Amino acid sequence: MNSPTEDKTIRVQQSWWWVLTLFSVTLIVESLAVSQLFAFLPLYLAEMQMPAADIPRWVGWLTSLIFLLGLPLVPLWGVWADKYSRKNVILRSALVEAVVFVIIAASRQPWHLVVGMLLAGFQLGNTGVMLGALRDVTPIRRLGTAIALFGATSPIGFALGPVLGGLLIDRLGTSISTVFLISGLLSLAAALMLAVGLREVRPAARPEGAVLKLAFGAMRSVFTEPVTRRLFIVFGVAILARFMTSPYLPILTERIHASSEGIASAIALVVGTAALVGGLISPLGGAAGDRFGFRTVLVASLVGYALTLVLMPFVPSVSLLALFSALGAAFIAGVNAMVFGLLSVDVPPQQRSATLNLVYLPLYLAGIVGPAIGALVVSTGLATVFVLSALILVAGALFVLLRLQDAGTKK
């Protein structure tokens, strides 16, 4: 815990509102760029003259590459940030993202995209560091508000990305390559904003010792706690299902839309607008968790998400697909909220900081495995990917019922 002197030293440097604004803009730009990549990757591959039958497999494999190089670095970014500089770790992410999207924009062959997707792994690991810095700079009475506002920025970015891209492509005739280039330039602008506007926010006590020892010590302390292990499994299962299916939503939209005219806008409706609606609905999950219990709402969210995925491949219209996509976004947001809620009340206080830095480890692992599984089974049909994902979610719900009944707090 910070001493009063340390707290004052940290907080007089800059307003917590200013730090929140800088981090929110950064996360919106990052989410905007990544969502455009997910939304328009199948169309981009088609522009490269890839046979239609090969696109679903390539989409799965390329998506999995985003997290491949980032996964081993997950335990290190938090340690590097606390030991040396949080600002530089966050700034690094924005700069790498700018380079990645310039490479993607310049790609003319599918293998060029492999380079960009692999390099994307080096831009990961900033969200936990931003949360840690925001926690230290914000007065305790405002912390809940700050974290909630920061958490809302990612859905906004994921909604804006496809919508903006759809307008540029369908209304202004902009190429997909130019859309990715604009995302790279926005990332560069975010990096410049952070470099000029953000002051260093140091932790109350810097970690001492070798980086690798500190990183793996943090992992060991987190995973020796049974509650953390179980919640990470549940979080990983939910994200696995999401990453198995999300790369194929644009392809599913194309098949339902059945026309090349306005296809980017149709994808924006399903992927972008739905993400925003889901983000707006998701706060209801927090209220439901307070009323009915985190564990109960967690099970309901997992089962609800499974039902939406089962139905998605069989809907007859883009608008209905967008509705189910919005419901799915709301359910997955509910899962995330309940997992983070359970972590906040069930994890011992001395392990919460390390857990916060490693909370996205299941996401990165699922980001590799999920699209890879999708790429392996999609040859049997898109419906297979969605149904298999639903079964995994149901298994996760059963795991919660059987293994978290004594661990979860029943508020």
* DSSP class per residue in 264-281: HHHHIIIIIIHHHHHHHH
pLDDT tens digit sequence for 328-364 = 888 888 887 788 777 766 666 555 556 666 777 888 8
Q: Are 278 and 328 in contact (CB under 8 A)?
A: yes
pLDDT at 409: 44
Query: How many helices (DSSP H) and strands (DSSP E) are in the chain?
Result: 20, 0
Number of domains making up the chain: 1
pLDDT for 62 beyond 50? yes
pLDDT tens digit sequence for 77-124 = 777 877 888 899 999 999 999 999 999 999 999 999 999 999 988 888
Q: Could you tell me the CATH number of the domain that includes residue 197?
A: 1.20.1250.20
As given in the structure block, the two tokens for residue 33 are 């760029």
Beta-carbon contacts of 320 under 8 Å, excluding residues fewer than 6 positions away, are none
| Region of 201 on the Ramachandran plot (φ > 0 left; ψ -120 to 50 alpha; else beta) | beta
Lowest-confidence range among 29-33, 80-84, 326-330, 371-375?
80-84
3-state helix, strand, coil in the chain (%, to 5): 85, 0, 15
Count how many Cα atoms sit within 13 Å of the Cα of residue 396 in the half-sphere of its side chain: 31
Q: What percent of the chain has pLDDT over 70?
A: 86
pLDDT tens digit sequence for 177-234 = 999 999 999 999 999 999 999 998 887 667 677 777 777 776 776 677 777 888 888 8
pLDDT at 37: 93
Domain assignment of residue 143, yes or no: yes
pLDDT for 407 beyond 80? no
| Region of 381 on the Ramachandran plot (φ > 0 left; ψ -120 to 50 alpha; else beta) | left
As given in the structure block, the two tokens for residue 19 are 């730090």
Q: Are 137 and 87 in contact (CB under 8 A)?
A: no
pLDDT for 3 beyond 50? no
Q: Residue 66: give the domain boundaries.
A: 4-202+210-403
Which residue, 99, 109, 135, 103, is CA-closest to 23?
135
Calculate helix-pair angle for 294-311, 318-346, nearest 10 degrees. Answer: 160
* CA gap 53, 248 in Å, rounded: 13
Domain assignment of residue 411, yes or no: no
pLDDT at 4: 41
Domain assignment of residue 408, yes or no: no
Lowest-confidence range among 56-65, 389-398, 401-410?
401-410
For 229-243, give one letter per residue: b (16+ CB within 10 A) or e: ebbbbbbbbbbbbbb
Domain assignment of residue 347, yes or no: yes
Residue type, 125: G
Calculate helix-pair angle for 274-281, 283-292, nearest 10 degrees. Answer: 30
Domain assignment of residue 410, yes or no: no
Strand, helix or coil at 53? coil
pLDDT for 408 beyond 60? no
DSSP 73-118: GHHHHHHHHHHT-HHHHHHHHHHHHHHHHHHHHH--SHHHHHHHHH
DSSP state of 67: T
Domain assignment of residue 79, yes or no: yes
Q: Are 125 and 74 in contact (CB under 8 A)?
A: yes
Q: How far is CA 44 from CA 63, 97, 201, 305, 363, in A?
A: 13, 19, 40, 29, 25
pLDDT for 368 beyond 80? yes
Beta-carbon contacts of 382 under 8 Å, excluding residues fewer than 6 positions away, are 56, 248, 251, 252, 255, 313
Domain assignment of residue 27, yes or no: yes
* CA gap 276, 158 in Å, rounded: 7
pLDDT for 8 beyond 60? no
As given in the structure block, the two tokens for residue 132 are 């840690």
* CA gap 208, 40 in Å, rounded: 45
Question: What's the whole-number average pLDDT of the chain?
Answer: 84
Q: Are 38 and 246 in contact (CB under 8 A)?
A: yes
pLDDT for 131 beyond 70? yes
Residue 70's φ and ψ, nearest 5 degrees, are: -75, -30
Domain assignment of residue 409, yes or no: no
